[in-house]
Structure 1
Amino acid sequence: MVVENEVLPYLQWLWRGDGASFVDGKGALVQFAIIALTIFVLGLVGGFLVALVRQGPVRAGEITYRTLVGGFGDLFRLSFRRIAALASLAIKESLRRRVWVALVVFAMILLFASWYLGVNNREPARLYLSFVTAATSYLMLLLSLVLAAFSLPTDIKNKTLYTVTTKPVRSGDIVLGRILGFTVLGTALLAIMAAASWFFVNGALAHTHTVDTRSLEAIRGADGETIGKEGETSRDAFHTHPFSVDAEGYGFTDQVSEHSHALTADGDAIVVGPAEGYLRARVPLRGKISFLNPQGVPVAKGISVGNEWSYRSFIQGSTQAAAVWTFDGVNESTLMEYEDGSKYLPVAAIVRVYRSYKGIIEQAIQGSIQLRNPETGVKSTLRVFPAKDFAIDSFEFANEQTDTDQNDITILDDLVTEDGRIEVIIQCLDRGQYFGFAQADCFIRLPEGSPLWNFVKGFLSIWMQMVIVIAVAVMMSTFLSGPIAMVTAITFIVLGFFRTFFLQIALGESYGGGPVESLVRLVTQMNVMSPFERTPSVDAMKAIDGVLKGAMRAVSNVLPDFSTYLDRVRYVAEGFSIPTDAVLHDLTVSLAYVVGMAIVGYFCLRTREVAKS
């Protein structure tokens, strides 16, 4: 799977950062402080401008001053009992608006999904998991956005909020009550959708096969004795499984479409068990990637095959070109055990195959993989494998190996250094063909986590998106009408999904220059590489772009990176365990946005006459 940035340990992320992703190389706390200050300034200026339009300059200044002086004191006099009561009121209002219809819509989506989603897909688990998580995300985001954006403006318009503000209730209680109420209701709906999705996915993928014992062929040992049987299962769910069983009739089928089946003997019959391996929670130990060019010289990157996306570099087939991963922390506990007690090193690789010529399209491109000691240069015997494009190829290297000179070696004693380092080398063997790799495409498989718990963590990422959307929409609704609050919140959310691209424009890292320059190039149909001639109008254009880029950089510090939450959900669909540190990162960011939006919404609501009590 694509991993653009490694997940840092939580405390390092919080205090020190990675030296690149956070301001001045500091940790997330510095970033949060900047975000809080930016939101406070924007809220203060926005509240003053709203009061200026409604009340005039003198009255606006008076309202702003009174809001600042009395506002901070009120923040420390919040009452959880009042907040809980207002949250209960928000839930009741939402139920009267028939939010349960969202569950009916979701049920209809699942009901008809099986018409269009088939288990004949090469990766059916990824297909079904991607579908249910995407459907849940979009439905919950839309529902929470509509509820939160229209609730306060509707109450103000209908004057129902006056019955609340005449009581000893503060603006902060109202804002937090709305956020809490919508969050509780959304959590309940999301939990129901998550449970329905889990049973839907498991039910859709569940199947079995039968075995015709008359078609089995005997497997004979060196002395001619029958040591087992082999055959093929019936064709069910658009596929069959080759298999082999021992003399007693026990074994496993080959893995097809990401799953296999256990085989047991029942008299003369062989019973095929349920599908196993569809839902995974792989825990990878990742290494650092480097490359060898076609002459075998170490280089920072492989070659480009013309793809615009430069995430992966490619190595040329039938040359000395190779992708090399160096893993740290490999020791005896990293190795897994077979049933007989012997140990092996589990390695997995994802190969992106690029064909410079078609050849026999059904025939796989051949590759090789071997282990190497980074200090002594000792290598294990070359293993050849057929590369499946974008599939996860698994390799089990037994601890007892032979080197390239056919000497007996072991992984722990001869291939792993004293400080726990080992290298994995992959090459393409077919002339004129290419393998593409990124750093995350090869990893050592650690013991897997629970697929159910990983599924829960995936929906927790959806929940965090929902909470941020609710906080943003409630904040917008404190000083805007319902439709305008919804449009503004949608704009904020869309920019959050494309925050990386937005930031690239702000930093001048994208093609075409700043916003004005890009507009001029678009209108005049000028390509993005041709420079402008130095003229006063061009200087003015660049000066305006400089101001706009500064404003965009400021806004980018406020935007939530929703693409990060989508990446967490992709972990589940692609069968990887979501790291605990990543969950802690996202929870901290979500909490920061909720607190920040609640404070800004509180001050904005105080500027409205209806908020005075």
Structure 2
Amino acid sequence: MVLEKEVLPFFTWLLRGEGATFADGEGALVLFAIVVATVFVLALVGGFLVSLVRHGPIRAGEIAYNTIVGGVGELLRTSFRRVAALAAVAAKESVRRRVWVALVVFGLILLFASWYLKANNTQPARLYLSFVLTATTYLILLLSLLLAAFSLPADFRTKTLYTIVTKPVRAGDIVLGRMLGFTLVGTVLLAIMGLGSWVFVNGSLAHTHRVDIESLEALRSPDGESLGQRGLTSYDVYHKHDLTIDTDGSGVAEGAHSHTHQVTQNGDRLEIGPAEGFLRARVPQRGKLRFYDRKGVETARGISVGNEWAYRSFIQGATQAAAVWTFEGVSKSSLVEYADGGGEYLPVELIVRVYRSYKGEIERGIQGSIQLRNPDTQVKTNLRTFYAKDATIDSFDFANEQTSTDQLPITILEDLVTPDGRLEVIVQALDRNQYFGFAQADCYLRRPEGSPLWNFIKGYLSIWMQMVIVIAVAVTASTFLKGPIAMLFTVAFLVLGLNREFFVKIAQLESYGGGPVESAVRMVTGMNQMSPFDPSSAVSVMKGIDFVLAKMMLGLSYVLPDFSTFLGRVNFVAEGFSIPADALTRDLIVCLAYVVGAFVIGYFCLRAREVAK
């Protein structure tokens, strides 16, 4: 799976992280304090200037002082009983608006999804999980946006809010009550969608096969002893399995389309059980990647095959080029015991992106090799060859007892792992003029897996956090904007958050075509993105305006949530990887920070309106 940003340990992210912004998650605590202080100063100066124009300097200072002292005092006296009552009112209002229609729409989406999702996909679990998680995300965000953006403006229009403010209710109670009420409704809807999605995915993946009796052939040892049978299952749901049956009638239908089936004997019949292994929650232990070029010289990156995306680089086949991962903390706990108790093995999994310079035997895959190496002594295991198909996960179980390239018996723990727990994995492509592409996350040691159900719930928790942020921003926007404008403001906030990395690149003037004004000029004049402008005063003015706009955009980027990070957590589930606890904790803290910030801003904005005084 794609993992462009390493998931830092939580306290490293919180206290000592490296990076640029709070929304990126690096150096979060200090950067959050800087953002809060900056927003506070700007709001105070802006409010003072407005009051200065309207009332003069003395009155402006008095208003600013009363706003800060009185506002902070009111916030500290927020009544959770009143907030709960107002949240219940907001929830009832949502029900009156027929939010249950969203469940009907979601049910119809699931009902007709099988018409469009191809059951012959080689990774059907990823297809179904990605579909339900994506559909849920966009549907619940749209619903939250419509509920939260139009609620307060509608109350202003119908004068319902005038009745509320005659009671002992403060502006903060109103804002927080709306946020909690809409969050409660969204949480119930999201839980129902999650349950429906889990049933849909499991139901869509459920199937079995029959034993193809005609394909069975006896397996015998060299001395003629029966070892069981081998054959094929029936062809169902666009695939079939190789079948291995022991003499006692038990066996396994081997992996195809990312799953297996257990085989049992029931009287005179062989029965194939339900599909197993579709839903995974892999817990990877990742290493550090470096490359060797075609002459065997160490380098930081491989070669480019013409793809502008720099996430992966490639190694050329039939050369000394190699990808090398160095793992740390390898110990006896990293080994897994065989099911039959016949020793231990080190589980290694590898994702290969294949680039073909010529088609070759397209069904066979590209031949490669993998071996283990001691980083200090350079002792290596014998080459283990495999055939890689693009973007599939290849699993390798390295027995603890190995043979070195010098044909000497060695063990992983004693001869390949260094005293400080380091171990190297080396991968090469063997077919001439064919290429393997790798990123750091593409090779890992497989730790004991987590629960697929719990991982699915964590994926929905990431969707829930996105929903909460959207509700908080929309409610805050609705305290000073009309409904349609508040909705457009929140949509812009969401779109910029989804494309935050590109937005930051523009703000840092690193994108092709220059800044906003320069890009607009190039589009209007039909000028390409790379050619420089001839020096002139107009060009200097244009670049100066772009510089100012870029600084403003960079400042805005500090308060934009990185929604692509939340979507990345959902991809963990679809790809079959467990969402790390550090990542989930980090996202919860970021979500809480945005909710608190939106609440405070919304409180002061609503308090500034005459109806709330």
Structure 1 match to 2:575: 574
TM-aligned CA distance change 1:90 to 1:56, over 3 Å: farther
Structure 2 match to 1:352: 353
Aligned pairs (5 A) from 1:57-456: 66-341=66-341, 342-456=343-457
- Measure how far apart 1:534 and its partner are: 2.2
Whole-angstrom distance in 2 between the partners of 1:22 and 1:205: 40
Whole-angstrom distance in 1 between the partners of 2:554 and 2:87: 35
Whole-angstrom distance in 1 between the partners of 2:280 and 2:50: 52
Unpaired segments of 5 or more residues in structure 1?
Answer: none
Structure 1 match to 2:561: 560
Whole-angstrom distance in 1 between the partners of 2:112 and 2:366: 38
Aligned pairs (5 A) from 1:34-73: 34-41=34-41, 66-73=66-73
The SS at the match of 1:161 is: helix
- Measure how far apart 1:422 and its partner are: 0.5
Tell me, yes or no, if the aligned pair for 1:368 and 1:383 is still in contact at 8 Å: yes
TM-aligned CA distance change 1:136 to 1:39, over 3 Å: farther
- Measure how far apart 1:308 and its partner are: 1.1
Whole-angstrom distance in 2 between the partners of 1:222 and 1:109: 57
Percent identity, aligned pairs only, is 68
Whole-angstrom distance in 1 between the partners of 2:47 and 2:116: 49
Deviations 1:235-267 (A, max 9, x none): 111111111111111111110111010011112
TM-score by length of 1: 0.96
Tell me, yes or no, if the aligned pair for 2:23 and 2:590 is still in contact at 8 Å: no
Whole-angstrom distance in 1 between the partners of 2:454 and 2:369: 35
Tell me, yes or no, if the aligned pair for 1:506 and 1:553 is still in contact at 8 Å: yes
Q: Which runs of 4+ in 1 moved over 4 A?
A: 19-26, 41-53, 55-65
Deviations 1:350-390 (A, max 9, x none): 10100111223223110110001010001101011000100
The SS at the match of 1:389 is: coil
TM-aligned CA distance change 1:606 to 1:447, over 3 Å: same
Amino acid at match of 1:317: G
Whole-angstrom distance in 1 between the partners of 2:465 and 2:166: 34
- Measure how far apart 1:67 and its partner are: 2.7
TM-aligned CA distance change 1:562 to 1:52, over 3 Å: farther
Whole-angstrom distance in 2 between the partners of 1:41 and 1:148: 28
Amino acid at match of 1:538: V
- Measure how far apart 1:44 and its partner are: 5.2
Tell me, yes or no, if the aligned pair for 2:21 and 2:558 is still in contact at 8 Å: no
- Measure how far apart 1:520 and its partner are: 1.6
- Measure how far apart 1:40 and its partner are: 3.5
Tell me, yes or no, if the aligned pair for 2:25 and 2:586 is still in contact at 8 Å: no
The SS at the match of 1:291 is: strand
Whole-angstrom distance in 2 between the partners of 1:48 and 1:149: 28
TM-score by length of 2: 0.96
Deviations 1:140-161 (A, max 9, x none): 0000000000000100110001
Whole-angstrom distance in 2 between the partners of 1:130 and 1:176: 33
The SS at the match of 1:419 is: coil
Tell me, yes or no, if the aligned pair for 1:51 and 1:607 is still in contact at 8 Å: no
Whole-angstrom distance in 2 between the partners of 1:372 and 1:225: 39
TM-aligned CA distance change 1:20 to 1:92, over 3 Å: closer
Amino acid at match of 2:289: I
Whole-angstrom distance in 2 between the partners of 1:115 and 1:45: 58
Tell me, yes or no, if the aligned pair for 2:23 and 2:558 is still in contact at 8 Å: no
Whole-angstrom distance in 2 between the partners of 1:406 and 1:125: 42
The SS at the match of 2:513 is: coil
The SS at the match of 2:523 is: helix
- Measure how far apart 1:119 and its partner are: 2.1
Tell me, yes or no, if the aligned pair for 2:281 and 2:455 is still in contact at 8 Å: yes
Structure 2 match to 1:546: 547
Aligned length: 611
- Measure how far apart 1:26 and its partner are: 6.9
Whole-angstrom distance in 2 between the partners of 1:144 and 1:486: 10
Tell me, yes or no, if the aligned pair for 2:335 and 2:347 is still in contact at 8 Å: yes
- Measure how far apart 1:557 and its partner are: 0.4
TM-aligned CA distance change 1:63 to 1:88, over 3 Å: farther
Deviations 1:502-559 (A, max 9, x none): 0111112222211111112222222222222221111111111111011001100010
